[in-house]
Structure 1
Amino acid sequence: MFNMAPKKTALKKSLGETTMLKRSVSTRAKKNSDVKLVDESSKRKAVSPLKQLSKRSAFGDITNDADLSKKIATNKKDSKKNVETISHVKKNLKESENGNKAVMPHKKTGRSNIPTFPPKVQMAKANTKPEKVHPSSVSKPKCDKTEVLTSVRVKSPDSTDNELYLTAVEELGSSSKKLTTKDEERKKVLLPPPGVEDFDAENMGDPVQVSEYAMDIFSYLKEREAKFAIDNYMERQTSINTAMRALLVDWLVEIQENFELNHETLYLAVKLTDIYLSKVTVSKETLQLVGAAAIFIASKYDERMAPMLEEMLYVCDGAYDKKELIRMEINILNKVGFELGIPLSYRFLRRYARCSKVTLPVLTLARYILELSLMEYTFVSESDSKLAAAALLLALKMKEISGWTKTLQYYSGYSLEEIQDLVFKLNDMLKMKPKEALSTVRNKYSHKIFFEVAKEPVLAEVNL
């Protein structure tokens, strides 16, 4: 059952500095045949009021095209003409080698049916020397017709782009050898220092891992962090406070769970919300609208099937209409400059965990720590890459595993001295008494599917 931010009427009540926004929105159990109540013990799923959607063919109906038969006949005719042309070229080339003059076919209009060859492979007369006929092959003792055919693309001027070509297939072998050489040189340049496991080299044969570019990709993301840095914007906000922001993030986590969205979608939505709040002063009635529009944008960017607009309005329990949500979506995109490739701490965490080859329970514990930090305003101004490194180190310490190894230092780019203060802050966050209004993340990671990492004992002190 949903527990979300309240309607506008409830939000208009005066709130003190320490009074947090109470969520009174729940799944509407009205007399509606389209809405079904879901058992809380089962997997929570967002219930959409729109169940009947129209279906559409992927390619449309092509049987109604009156000129379809004509088009098919024309294509067959052009294709046949093109094949005959290529056969004629091969015959002329053979006659040219025997000393006979090559006769090019012509249409009735007098225009040549074969395009003019490039100068370096232009047809020559029978008495021309081989050196002058093919300047590109001077170093070779002999130039046969196979070499000419593989160097020329022959195409009829009346044919379409998807018709037959004579292509130089033999040239692919030399280019692939060059790429292999470059890859070997690149591996030598990016060779990690002694004592560091070369994770990218081990996965070089897997094209999905893009091991050749992984280091460059994450180095580029670290460089872009400065562009999306967030300052202490709460000093400029007059109607909202840190408690309201924490409640909004908790609501976003619940939406991510109910719609079964990716974790990257959640982190991007929180980032978009903070960037917008750092540039625009909003009222407490508009705060939920900002969060809803942010996760709607993030879903379009990261999900294969993003929630519908009506579903986002539904989870807001009618607090806003369609025009308001679309207008807020446009405002957020304008404020971020339509740049959604924002560096996220979750992506850095997965990279560090994979390179250090930690177990899935350790990674899940680090994800739990990182997701809890989303609700804490004190971590808003921290670097995402550094925050991910600190969360992973704290998870390793809580599981009593080796600390900050050379491999982690190499792939993260941070030394132990650079992240130790952040590790202490994250551990202090875990030691705080849980708040009943902010229990979504703890309940989520208390499930067996997440190895019940939320029940892991908290360290009294962190020894690094």
Structure 2
Amino acid sequence: MFNMAPKKTALKKSLGETTMLKRSVSTRAKKNSDVKLVDESSKRKAVSPLKQLSKRSAFGDITNDADLSKKITTNKKDSKKNVETISHVVKKNLKESENGNKAVMPHKKTGRSNIPTFPPKVQMAKANIKPEKVHPSSVSKPTCDKTEVLTSVRVKSPDSTDNELYLTAVEELKKLTTKDEERKKEPLPPPGVEDFDAENMGDPVQVSEYAMDIFSYLKEREAKFVIDNYMERQTSINTAMRALLVDWLVEIQENFELNHETLYLAVKLTDIYLSKVTVSKETLQLVGAAAIFIASKYDERMAPMLEEMLYVCDGAYDKKELIRMEINILNKVGFELGIPLSYRFLRRYARCSKVTLPVLTLARYILELSLMEYTFVSESDSKLAAAALLLALKMKEISGWTKTLQYYSGYSLEEIKDLVFKLNDMLKMKPKEALSTVRNKYSHKIFFEVAKEPVLAEVNL
């Protein structure tokens, strides 16, 4: 049997039965570990190695040399005096030039006034031409407003005709505003559908103006990340080993207190890599560790350190191997980390339909269990999220597939009912002791103990 290291026994052996692996580094200390750990209570202070040197002010002297700083300061004072002297002489010369005298400039260093000199003032000949008298009524007043006068810069319009080759800035702004208004004019939801985005239009955090476009774009990107039946090409691993790896990733996500998006992205990266590269069972755990390490860097505010990832692997790999696997995964996925995830779609559908938090948690439990089942690898993430939410609604006996859910998900009941039956069959399977992390996680009170929810014998849609 494939032994995935470390499991709970390996983690809790060094941590104690009552201690969980928290975000702190100090809880993962071992006696003979090469990793130097820091006490959690102590704060790290930044000590400058150049403490004996003088501090550098912002946008000031670009050096820490004290002697050179004095020279620069002295030069600045001298240059300021020279500028004041020169400006005073210039003003004096301008007055003298009005009287017909020669204007002189002082020397740069000594202040001597021999060179250079301004040319003598040129006496302009007065022309015997009388200006024409213009009647005030004959002068045409400007027809443009103040805004057009201030924005008199003319910009070439990219889609203008020959008759209208250039537009003012105000005209260009009005034209762009009209195009934006036309683009934002979308059909309203059909009758019976609650306009969730319109209700939250005043909240800038909801980005209601772009929410539909964002999730429509994510659904379009799903076709780029379709995973085929890659287990047929793998010679050393099987579906049971993959399920054990995902169970281990869930344990890492829980113990490190990572986001759920990090877990889903790590599983997705693992499947994409396994669909393109044949790996051995000794390398499978390294693939999962590198995948969740990449996902943490992409989605976490503070990603785990490299030494922490090596520690949870129980010393099975070294630093170079983990970095090399990280590079290989990024190359195989083409550095495409904005992968559509079923967890994001589920949260969007639940919010639009305004379901309660226990119902959403039950749907999350169903969706997280499906990560370990290889049969759902090739399914669409958006469709899988819709099926999990519908099954949760049926288990809670709340409602069915409403018009609101159909509108925001884009799936009808006929399109997802087969997937709902598959998910319900998964729940009816006998739990395995080696794959109990998800069930134990959602059996806690903080997750409303949704794992203890009775399973439906049959789903009536």
Return the TM-score normalized by structure 1: 0.69
Q: Give per-residue Cα distances to partners, 1:218-259, cap 9 Å, x unaligned.
A: 111111111110011111111111111001000000101111
Distance 1:163 1:272, change over 3 A: farther
Give the aligned partner of residue 37 of structure 2: 37
Compared with structure 1, are the counterparts of its residues 14 and 155 closer, same or farther at alpha carbon in structure 2 (3 Å cutoff)? Answer: closer
Task: Give CA-to-partner distance per residue, 1:44-86, whole Å, 9 cap, x none.
Answer: 9999999999999999998837699799999999999999999
Alpha carbons of structure 1 residues 113 and 451: separation in structure 2 relative to 1, 3 Å: farther
Deviation at 1:7, TM superposition (A): 10
1:243 counterpart = 2:240: yes
2:113 corresponds to 1:116: no
CA distance in 2, matches of 1:411, 1:277: 33
Residue 386 of structure 1 deviates from its aligned partner by: 0.3
- For the 8 Å contact 1:155–1:164, the answer to whether it is kept is yes
Residues 91 and 266 from structure 1, CA distance in 2 versus in 1: closer, same or farther, beyond 3 angstroms? Answer: farther
Unaligned runs of 5+ in 2: none
Alpha-carbon offset, residue 189 of structure 1 = 1.4
Q: Deviations over 1:84-133 (max 9, x none)?
A: 99999999999999999999999999999999999999999999999999
> What is the CA-CA distance between 1:5 and the residue it aligns to?
1.9
Superposed CA deviations along residues 20-57 of structure 1, whole A, max 9, x for unmatched, are: 99999999774369999999999999999999999999
Are 1:149 and 1:166, in contact at CA under 8 Å, matched by a contact in 2? no
Task: Name the residue aligned to 1:416.
Answer: 413
Distance 1:116 1:416 in 2: 93
Instruction: State, as a whole percentage, how many aligned pairs show the same letter.
Output: 98
Task: Determine if contact 1:296/1:312 at 8 Å carries over to the other structure.
Answer: yes
Does structure 2 retain, via aligned residues, the 8 Å contact 1:117–1:123? no
Structure 2 vs 1, CA of residues 223 and 153 (structure 1 numbering), >3 Å: closer, same or farther? closer
CA contact (8 A) 1:106 1:113 kept: yes
Q: Deviation digits for residues 139-162 of structure 1, max 9, x if unmatched?
A: 972689997666589999999999
Q: Secondary structure at the residue paired with 1:387?
A: helix
Name which of 285, 294, 299 aligns with 1:288: 285
RCO comparison, higher one (Cα < 8 Å, 6+) = 1
Determine helix, strand or coil for the equivalent of 1:37: coil
Q: 1:158 to 1:390 in 2, by over 3 A?
A: closer
Q: Give 3-state SS (helix, strand or coil) of 1:170's partner.
A: helix
3-state DSSP class of the match of 2:154? coil
Structure 1: give runs of 5+ residues left out of the alignment: none
Q: How has the CA–CA distance of structure 1 residues 340 and 33 changed in structure 2, closer, same or farther, with 3 Å as cutoff?
A: closer
Paired residue secondary structure (2:237): coil
| Structure 1 residues 188-203: aligned runs within 5 Å | 188-203=185-200
- Distance in 1 separating the partners of 2:273 and 2:341: 16
Q: Deviations over 1:350-397 (max 9, x none)?
A: 111111111111111110100000000000000000000000000111
Instruction: Tell me the TM-score normalized by structure 2.
Output: 0.69
C-alpha separation between the residues in 2 aligned to 1:454 and 1:125? 102
d(CA) in 1 for partners of 2:119, 2:272: 56
**Is contact 2:247–2:437 with CA below 8 Å preserved after alignment?**
yes
Aligned pairs, number? 460
Comparing 30-39 and 343-352, the one that deviates more: 30-39
Secondary structure of the 1:162 match is coil
Which structure's CA Rg is the greater one? 2
CA distance in structure 2 between the partners assigned to 1:430 and 1:35 by the alignment: 41
Does the aligned pair in 2 maintain the 1:48–1:314 contact within 8 Å? no
Q: Deviations over 1:167-212 (max 9, x none)?
A: 999999xxxx878766654553142122211111122222222212
Q: Are the counterparts in 2 of residues 93 and 102 from structure 1 also a CA contact under 8 Å? A: yes
Q: Alpha carbons of 1:321 and 1:163: their partners in 2 closer, same or farther (altered >3 Å)?
A: farther
CA distance in 1, matches of 2:120, 2:347: 55
1: distance between equivalents of 2:426 and 2:392? 13
Name which of structure 1's ranges 204-213 and 7-16 shifts more when overlaid on structure 2. 7-16
Range with greater deviation from structure 2 (273-282 or 87-96): 87-96
Identify if the C-alpha distance between structure 1 residues 74 and 108 changes in structure 2 by more than 3 Å, giving closer, same or farther: closer
Does the C-alpha gap of structure 1 residues 99 and 398 become closer, same or farther in structure 2, counting only changes over 3 Å? farther
Pick closer, same or farther for the CA change 1:231–1:148 going to 2, 3 Å. Answer: same
Calculate the aligned-residue CA RMSD, in Å: 11.7
My pick for the range that moved more, 197-206 or 299-308, is 197-206
